[in-house]
Structure 1
Amino acid sequence: MTDVPRVELTDAAAELVRRLHEAHGPLMFHQSGGCCDGSAPMCYLAGEFRTGASDILLADLTVRGVAEPVSFWMSKSQYEVWSHTRLIVDVVEGRGSGFSLEAPEGVRFLIRSRLVGT
């Protein structure tokens, strides 16, 4: 199971990441499970969200057409609950949090998940 990615992007999410990267530059995701769209990963400029000892890096995502990896961080407390899953970043219509870069696009990132090993 070590070769199973912990985080992956759907084709639609990868396309949105490419567009956001073209408009803003290097990106990162953080999923905190906090008050603002807790089930939605927030997309920021790389380094804009300060990670610390309460966060873990789950993946450096390779996105075709984006020069550098897009890091995906999660709070340790949320990871304890989701550690048995593979996270799939997708895009759905509708506005999410105003903190995430895709908010003005009329879409939002959303996490779908699968049990590891399925």
Structure 2
Amino acid sequence: MNEQAPRVGLTPAAADLIRRLRADHGPLMFHQSGGCCDGSAPMCYPDGEFRTGNSDVLLESLKVEGVAEAVPFWMSVSQYEVWSHTRLIVDVVAGRGSGFSLEAPEGVRFLIRSRLVGA
């Protein structure tokens, strides 16, 4: 993967939602779900609420204009092995997800769009 290119990006809609969630909940974090709860959706939590450890990898610290601190984006090591040749793009669509992500009450849900990148 090109180390210059970010592993995770945001659409403008996702950045807007992150700003709103940050205003309501404080610092945030993402963990890419591995299939439970809401399929393989990125889950957004108050920073530190989802415990990460040696079985997780920090893919990116997302910088969002208007948000003081970067938003860490985590994924399990085993899932990263499958997704390692992709660039993940966090987007937002209408509809409530079935997980525990902070945006659920907003009537929208985060989802991942991906693009293959060179090995």
* Shorter-chain TM-score range: over 0.9
In structure 2, how many angstroms separate the alpha carbons of the residues matched to 1:17 and 1:109? 10
Contact 2:43 2:99 in 1 (8 A): no
RMSD: 0.9
**For each residue in 1:54-94, what CA deviation from the matched residue of structure 2 results, as whole angstroms up to 9, or x when unmatched?**
10000000000000000000011110100000000000000
Q: Which residue of 2 aligns with 1:50?
A: 51
State how many pairs are aligned: 117
In 1, the alpha carbon distance for the partners of 2:100 and 2:26 equals 16
- The residue type equivalent to 1:102 in the other structure is E
Alignment-derived partner of residue 14 in structure 2: 13
Residue equivalent to 2:84 = 83
- Which letter maps to 1:56? V
Q: 2:67 & 2:98 partners in 1: Cα distance? A: 24
Looking at structure 1, the residues matched to 98 and 52 of structure 2 have their Cα atoms a distance apart, in angstroms, of 19
> After TM superposition, what 4+ stretches of structure 1 lie above 4 angstroms from structure 2?
none
2:66 and 2:25 map into 1 onto residues whose CA distance is 14
Gaps of 5+ in 2: none
CA distance in 1, matches of 2:31, 2:48: 11
Q: Tell me which residue corresponds to 1:2.
A: 3
* Residue 34 (structure 1) shift: 3.0
Find the counterpart in structure 2 of residue 92 from structure 1. 93
Unpaired segments ≥5 residues, structure 1: none
